[in-house]
Amino acid sequence: MQTTTLDLGPQTAETARIVAGVRDHHLCDPTPCEGMSVAALLDHLVGLTLAFRFAAEKTAFDGGPSADAAHLAPDWRTRLPVQLDALAAAWREPAAWEGEAEVAGVRMPAAAMALVALNEVLIHGWDLAVATGQAYRPDEASVEACLDMVGDRSDPTAEPEGLFGPVVSVPDDAPVFDRLLGRTGRDPGWGAG
C-alpha cells in the first residue's frame, strides 16, 4: 500500500482564501496564463478540483478541467472553497494513493497524480492571486514537493507537450517558489511594477 505524508489541505486552504478575495471587477482581467482571464482561470479551477477529487476516489468522471469564462459556474464563490476542501479530503484517504488514477484520459500512478493536483492548485492559486492583486502564501511543503515533481526542465522535450509554458529564467539563488514558477513557465515578477 502506498502512503504519504503529503497533505493538499494547506495549499487548498490558501487557494480558497485567494478565491474569496476575487471581486467581480477582476473577472475580465488577464492572468499569467496566456490568453486566460480571471473568469476562465476560475472555471479551470472548478473543473480541476472535481476531476482530481474523482481521481483520488477512483470514480469515473466524464468532464475535465476547461478554461472558458463563458462556462464559469454562477455559484463559483461558494462552490470553489467546498470543492477545494473536498479535493484535500479525498487525497487524505489511504486508498487514494494506491494503484493508478485518471484525469482527462491521462492515467498514471496515483501518487504522481496527487502531485499533479497539488501543482495545479499551487500554481493556479498564485496565478489568481497576482492577477487580482493579492498576497500569496504558498505552503512550503507543497512548493518543495512540486519543485521535485517538475524537475529542472533542462530538456523540455522530455515532458508531455503543453504541460507547462516555456521555462522562465530565474536565478539559482532565488526563493524556492520563484524557481518553481520559472520552471512552470511563469515570471515571478508578473504584474509587479
- Separation in Å, CA 190 to CA 22, 31, 130, 174: 18, 9, 7, 15
Please report the pLDDT score of residue 163 as a whole number: 66
What is the DSSP-derived secondary structure letter of residue 166?
P
Task: For the chain, list the domains and their CATH numbers.
Answer: 9-140 (1.20.120.450)
What is the full DSSP assignment across 49-63?
Answer: HHHHHHHHHT---S-
- Identify whether the C-beta of residue 122 lies closer than 8 Å to the C-beta of residue 146: yes
Please report the pLDDT score of residue 192 as a whole number: 72
Scored b (16 or more CB within 10 A) or e, 108-121 reads: eebbebbbbbbbbb
Please report the pLDDT score of residue 162 as a whole number: 56
- Identify whether the C-beta of residue 14 lies closer than 8 Å to the C-beta of residue 48: no
pLDDT along the chain (193 residues), means of 10: 72 98 97 93 95 94 79 96 98 95 92 95 97 97 94 61 77 93 92 67
| Alpha carbons 126 and 136: distance in angstroms, whole number | 6
Please report the pLDDT score of residue 157 as a whole number: 55
What is the full DSSP assignment across 107-132?
Answer: EEEHHHHHHHHHHHHHHHHHHHHHHT
